[in-house]
C-alpha cells in the first residue's frame, strides 16, 4: 500500500524566513496531494493541494511542487509569520483515502 | 453551509464500555472518511464509506471496530469493549464525490478518553 515519508519532523525558523517541508510517496497510482495545517487541539485544515496533472501551484505565501517521476512533493512557505506555527501534514491519495506523512512541527520565532 | 459536524466532541468511557461516534458530512457530500490520531502522532486512515456502503475498510482494526453510513442520518463509528489504547482523537472528513482527487473537509473531531 501507499507509504508517505515527511521531513523534517521539526522545523524552527525566524519570522520572515522561508520554510520548506518535503514528502515522498511510494504508490505511483496516487494522483492527489493535499497539505493540512493543524493547530493544537484543532481539526486539520486544508491549506493547499495539487493534482497530478500540474507540477506547481501557488497561493499567496504558500506554494507546492510535485515531481511525479521522483515521487516527491514539497511545501514552501515564504515570509513566515508567528501564526504559521503549527503542525503540517502532507498526504497522498491512491484512491479515496488519504495516507498522511508523520507531520512537521513548524515553529516561527518572532 | 454548515461544515462537517461531529458529536460528541469529548467522550469518556471506562474499559469494556462501548463508544459511539457520530459524523454528519457537509451538505451535498456523500462520501465519509474516518481517521484516528493517537496522542502526539499523525493521522491514520480507518475507513471510507458511501451511503449504505463500505468502500474501503483497510485501516480498521479487525476486532471491536465497526462503521456505518445509513441512508438516513449520520455516519457512526462504533468501538466495542474499549481499551486504554483506543484513547485518541477521531476525525471524520467528507467529500462531495469519489475519484481520489476530491478535497476532504475535516470535522472538529471526537476526543475519546478511556479510563
Beta pairing, strands A32-38 & B88-95: unpaired
Is residue A98 within 8 A of residue B104, CB to CB? The reply is: yes
- pLDDT tens figures, A2-14: 899 999 999 999 9
Across A82-97, average pLDDT: 94
Residue B101 has pLDDT above 80, yes or no: no
Check residue B99 and report its DSSP letter.
Answer: S
Across B80-109, average pLDDT: 90
Interchain CB distance below 8 Å, B48 and A43: no
Across A78-97, average pLDDT: 95
3-class SS letters over A48-90: EEEECCCCEEEECCEEEEEECCCCEEEEEECCCCHHHCEEEEE
- Dihedral sign (CA B13, B17, B20, B21): positive
Interchain CB distance below 8 Å, B108 and A42: yes
- pLDDT tens figures, B14-35: 999 999 999 999 998 989 999 9
Distance from CA of A44 to the nearest CA of B (A): 6
Across B46-73, average pLDDT: 94
Residue B100 has pLDDT above 80, yes or no: no
Residue B70 has pLDDT above 60, yes or no: yes
Share of chain A above pLDDT 70, in %: 100
Interchain CB distance below 8 Å, B91 and A44: yes
Residue B98 confidence class, pLDDT cut points 50, 70, 90: low
Across A21-39, average pLDDT: 95
Beta pairing, strands A32-38 & B65-68: unpaired
Radius of gyration over every alpha carbon of chain A, rounded to an integer in angstroms:
13
- Chain B CB contacts of A32 under 8 Å are 100-102
Amino acid at each position: 500500500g501507499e507509504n508517505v515519508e515527511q521531513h523534517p519532523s521539526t522545523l524552527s525558523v525566524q519570522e520572515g524566513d522561508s520554510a520548506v517541508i518535503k514528502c515522498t510517496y511510494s504508490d505511483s497510482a496516487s494522483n492527489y496531494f493535499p497539505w493540512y495545517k493543524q493547530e493544537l487541539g484543532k481539526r486539520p485544515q486544508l491549506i493547499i493541494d495539487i493534482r497530478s496533472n500540474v507540477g506547481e501551484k501557488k497561493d499567496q505565501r504558500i506554494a507546492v511542487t510535485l515531481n511525479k517521476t521522483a515521487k516527491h512533493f514539497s511545501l514552501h512557505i515564504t515570509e513566515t509569520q508567528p501564526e504559521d506555527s503549527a503542525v503540517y501534514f502532507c498526504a497522498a491519495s491512491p484512491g479515496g483515502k488519504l495516507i498522511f506523512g508523520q507531520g512537521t512541527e513548524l515553529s516561527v520565532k518572532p | 453551509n454548515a461544515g462537517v459536524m461531529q458529536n460528541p466532541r469529548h467522550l469518556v468511557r471506562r474499559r469494556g464500555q462501548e463508544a459511539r461516534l457520530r459524523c454528519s458530512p457537509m451538505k451535498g457530500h456523500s462520501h465519509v472518511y474516518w481517521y484516528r490520531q493517537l496522542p502526539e502522532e499523525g493521522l491514520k486512515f480507518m475507513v471510507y464509506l458511501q451511503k449504505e456502503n463500505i468502500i474501503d475498510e483497510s485501516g480498521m482494526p479487525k476486532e471491536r471496530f465497526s462503521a456505518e453510513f445509513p441512508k438516513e442520518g449520520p455516519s457512526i463509528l462504533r468501538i466495542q469493549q474499549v481499551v486504554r489504547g483506543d484513547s485518541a482523537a477521531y476525525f471524520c472528513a467528507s467529500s462531495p464525490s469519489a475519484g481520489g482527487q476530491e478535497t476532504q473537509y475535516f470535522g472538529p473531531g471526537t476526543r475519546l478518553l478511556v479510563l
